[in-house]
Amino acid sequence: KTKNGTGRFTYQSLENSELYVGDDFSQHKRVNELITNKDNNCFVLYPSANSLNLNNDALPKEVMGENIIFIIDSTWPCSKKMLRLSPNVDALPKVSFTHTKLSQFQFKTQPNIHCLSTMESTLTVLELLNQHGLETIQEQNLHNFLSPFLEMVKYQVKQIDERKEVRFK
């Protein structure tokens, strides 16, 4: 579904990113071009028993070309559905991370205390890729990455508070 959520903020915040909307990417021309290009080293950010934990391991340097990470912006049930409907993406090596951050998504309940929004997860991945020397993002840019997200949260919390005030008057 098309929403103005953290996936769209993430896309707008990353220069070298692409956004695809849908559930089934098995026949998606651009997705398949990226996956089948032998110069690309493709992954999907998704926790699994076999996922490469970026806290401990760098992405393998099997290919001298581009590292591409597909990031799913969806609810957990819909993410599972998307992978089921998109065996091309599901077949990619999975990457994940371990963290102790709490989501700043104050007005949305996460399914688990350590679940993060798409934008927060992307920041964590970027920080870890920086640590492994696979990215060279300046610390200030990483620090500012969540600014649009935090402004959106602040606005939403203000709207919720104003609605509560109106109901209790």
% of the chain beyond a pLDDT of 90:
41
Q: Give the predicted TM-score (pTM) of the model.
A: 0.83
pLDDT value for 69: 95
The string of DSSP codes covering 81-134 is HHHHH-HHHHTSPEEE---------TTS--SSTT---HHHHHHHHHHHHHHTTS
> pLDDT under 70 in the chain at which residues?
1-4, 61-64, 104, 106-114, 161-169
Helix/strand/coil percentages in the chain, nearest 5: 40, 10, 50
